[in-house]
Amino acid sequence: MGTMISTRTAVVTGASSGIGAATARSLAAAGFRVVCAARRAERIEALAAEIGGLAVACDVTDRDEVDALAAAAGSPVHLLVNNAGGAFGADPVESADPADWRAMYDVNVLGLLHVTQALLPALRASGDGTILNVGSTAGRIAYEGGAGYTAAKHGTQVVTETLRLELCGEPIRVCEIAPGMVRTDEFSTKRFGGDQEKADQIYAGVPDPLVAEDVADAIVWMATRPSHVNVDELVIRPRAQAAQHKVHRI
């Protein structure tokens, strides 16, 4: 009796830290061969070595690098987690830097577009593909100082919804996870240009913000439902955050 070993391949962008790194680890633990993509080669190489995956250095805003990622990942690919993204700045509309807005649209929307376009043939070839986009509660609401980021993450949301309509009838699920307050090493620090004090204020007194592993856990759950089950969107927040402006602090 022959044994059939079918390893499913997952590609995770933004895998060098935070939600992306945690997701790569959790998917590997769930049996996926994980292609870890990010700009910082040393980080993803260490991660890939740890989880028995493959590291591909890639800036998702660069189409040539994304095409090289698709070539390295091979075919078929069962799961694409479009996680690369981020916030730059938290300035009001009146004084925001257009360069920050451009950079946010670039990574959160166009980056997702590049990777999705490049990997669609391999996802289709799997006969059972899933595209899982990491959005944000910022793609659901508005908050002061957030317009550049909320506009970009609303973009992530609506591109996801559009793609689900366009791929209807194909064996590819299209899902979005929208996390609220997650304490990761880099998200807020990057947003505030390295100002650790400002970054720390975001989480100050919040009893238990989510951590990257909480989101990774939900992503693995979404990706491992039976093939006919499409979790369109999953909003996930810490218990202490009932809404964007309603955060319990002690």
Q: How far is the CB of 38 from ligand 8X3 (least distance, A)?
A: 18
CA distances from 156 to 55, 65, 189, 205, 233 (A): 25, 21, 22, 30, 12
Alpha-carbon distance of 65 to 241, in angstroms, equals 38
131 or 181: CB nearest ligand 8X3 = 181
What angle separates helix 111-125 from helix 63-73, to the nearest 10 degrees? 20
| Closest C-alpha among 233, 139, 149, 142 to residue 187 | 149
- Establish if 82 lies at the interface with ligand 8X3 (CB under 6 A): no
Classified as helix, coil or strand, 159 is helix
User: Which residue of the set 105, 143, 149, 203 is catalytic?
Assistant: 149
Instruction: Kindly determine how many residues on this chain lie close enough to bind ligand 8X3 according to the rule CB under 6 A.
Output: 7
Stretch that binds ligand 8X3, among 1-9, 24-32, 135-143, 228-236 (CB under 6 A): 135-143
- Establish if 23 lies at the interface with ligand 8X3 (CB under 6 A): no
The 3-state secondary structure of 94-122 reads: CCCCHHHHHHHHHHHHHHHHHHHHHHHHH
130 or 157: CB nearest ligand 8X3 = 157
Q: Which of 136, 156, 157, 184 binds ligand 8X3 (CB under 6 A)?
A: 136
Q: Which of 137, 156, 157, 160 binds ligand 8X3 (CB under 6 A)?
A: 137
Stretch that binds ligand 8X3, among 11-19, 22-30, 61-69, 133-141 (CB under 6 A): 133-141
Alpha-carbon distance of 136 to 203, in angstroms, equals 17
Q: Which of 138, 172, 199, 215 binds ligand 8X3 (CB under 6 A)?
A: 138
Stretch that binds ligand 8X3, among 21-29, 130-138, 164-172, 205-213 (CB under 6 A): 130-138
Within 144-163, which residues bind ligand 8X3 (CB under 6 A)?
A: 146, 149
20 or 146: CB nearest ligand 8X3 = 146
CB 236 within 8 A of CB 215: yes
57 or 181: CB nearest ligand 8X3 = 181
70 or 138: CB nearest ligand 8X3 = 138
Alpha-carbon distance of 166 to 181, in angstroms, equals 31
Alpha-carbon distance of 82 to 115, in angstroms, equals 8
Does the annotation mark 105 as catalytic?
Answer: no
- Establish if 180 lies at the interface with ligand 8X3 (CB under 6 A): yes
Consecutive H or E run containing 147: helix 147-166
Residue type, 132: L
Q: How far is the CB of 42 from ligand 8X3 (least distance, A)?
A: 26
Tokens of 229: 């089950």
By CB under 6 A, name the binding residues for ligand 8X3. 136-138, 146, 149, 180-181
Q: Enumerate the active-site residues.
A: 149
